[in-house]
Amino acid sequence: MNIKITGSGSYIPNRTVTNLDFAQHVFLNDDGTPLAYSNEVITEKFRQITGIEERRYVEDNLQTSDIALIAAQRAIESAGIDPETLDYIIFANNFGDVKSGTIQSDYLPSLAARVKHNLRIKNPKCVAYDIIFGCPGWVEGVIQAQAFIKAGMAKKCLVIGAETLSRVVDMHDRDSMIYSDGAGATIIEATEDEGGILAHETASFTYDEANFLYFGGSFNATHDQDVRYIKMHGRKIYEFALNHVPLAMKECLDKSGILIEDVKKILIHQANEKMDEAIVQRFFKLYNHRFEKDLMPMCIGKLGNSSVATIPTLYDIMIKGKMKGQQLDKGDIVIFASVGAGMNINAFVYKV
């Protein structure tokens, strides 16, 4: 028995927001003082560091569970399964449903329960739950689905990663330009086909690192400071990621028994292009092996950082041949890897 991704789907919002759309924003330092540079300089430096030229935001009438439902329906159709046969629905997100124009997260009921309800699944043995694990949530959901299947507790699982980060950002914080909205979903299934998940690795670093990403008040002191937004210590995250993610990827690859030269693609969380490139370069350096940039497909330039949705979205557009110059072929060895709030890191090695 092998455990494979048998279907995938994604939802990429229609609303495109370019860096030029931030031209009139008032960006502030964390002490409330204006940044020393013009918005033109700020956005160009941002593009050079992150690789992001534009990002996608959801329409006002949609919430996280809505776009997750669309991605889930597409994954179910792709796998050709009856949704009533699902044993688990695992929904990775971090902020619940946040309606446009509101400041409150809605987690009652869970987003996984909402998706199950809207899929009209009657089977009570299909267990639906949310997982809050920062940006690595979808990868962790896949790892949990694999564990359920290996333990004989499941045969088919739906794993979703979806987020509407545009609703939880402080528009006076230049880091707000990183974040975007989106949804990706996959069916994880026991199969007799060759390949599947070969090894995995997960770790949580919380002793000193728990608050590298956090909820904090607006940089604009005239705003209600009890209204909270996603905030990050970018330099600390960058250093943490470079020190720990390559090692986790190496441990995972070594456990799989796969040689570094046999790795065809690395699907890493689309967090920041320069950071991701540095992580993967350091990973290859651990093997004294040369890193070829086309091994690391990137969609962040056009889609931004949609947290848990980045990897399943990237996988979906690649496996369906929708990414120019990049594809996944039968038998390819792929490393999935992510890092994010917690601080959490994880990876799994996968044979297509």
Domain ranges of the chain: 2-192, 198-351
Q: Please state the rounded mean pLDDT for residues 87-112.
A: 95
Residue 36 scores a pLDDT above 90: no
Same fold, 2-192 and 198-351: yes
Cβ atoms within 10 Å, residue 205? 16
Mean pLDDT of the chain: 96
Residue 225 scores a pLDDT above 90: no
Encoded amino acid at 72, one letter: A
Q: Is residue 203 helix, strand or coil?
A: strand
Residue 304 scores a pLDDT above 90: yes
Q: What is the pLDDT of residue 76?
A: 98
Tell me which residue of 161, 144, 23, 45 sits closest to 87, measured CA to CA.
144
DSSP-derived letter for residue 156 is E
**112-117: which pairs have CB atoms within 8 A and are 24 or more residues apart?**
112/160, 114/65, 114/69, 115/65, 115/68, 115/69, 115/72, 115/89, 115/91, 115/160, 116/89
Higher pLDDT, 25 or 71: 71
Residue 104 scores a pLDDT above 90: no
Tell me which residue of 78, 2, 1, 5 sits closest to 334, measured CA to CA.
5
Contact 296, 266 (CB under 8 A): yes
Burial zone of 107 (CB within 10 Å; 0-12 exposed, 13-18 middle, 19+ buried): middle
Contact 336, 263 (CB under 8 A): no
Residue indicated by tokens 């229609």: 14
CA atoms of 122 and 104, how far apart (whole Å): 30
> pLDDT category, 224, cuts 50, 70, 90?
confident
CA atoms of 228 and 215, how far apart (whole Å): 6
CA atoms of 231 and 175, how far apart (whole Å): 8
Residue 137 scores a pLDDT above 90: yes
Q: Report the Cα–Cα distance between both ends of the chain, in Å, rounded.
A: 15
Token pair, residue 202, equals 């997960």
Give the start-end residues of each E strand in 243-291. Answer: 263-268
pLDDT in tens, 177-219: 999 999 999 999 999 999 999 999 999 999 999 999 999 999 9
pLDDT in tens, 280-301: 999 999 999 999 889 999 999 9
**CATH fit for domain 2-192, picks 1.20.80.30, 3.90.650.10, 3.60.21.10, 3.40.47.10:** 3.40.47.10
Q: Please state the rounded mean pLDDT for residues 326-349.
A: 96
> pLDDT category, 72, cuts 50, 70, 90?
very high
Residue 176 scores a pLDDT above 90: yes
CA atoms of 89 and 114, how far apart (whole Å): 11
> pLDDT category, 265, cuts 50, 70, 90?
very high
> pLDDT category, 305, cuts 50, 70, 90?
very high
Q: Please state the rounded mean pLDDT for residues 33-40.
A: 90
Q: Is residue 259 helix, strand or coil?
A: coil
Residue 111 scores a pLDDT above 90: yes
Residue indicated by tokens 């086309």: 294
Q: Which CATH class is domain 198-351?
A: alpha beta
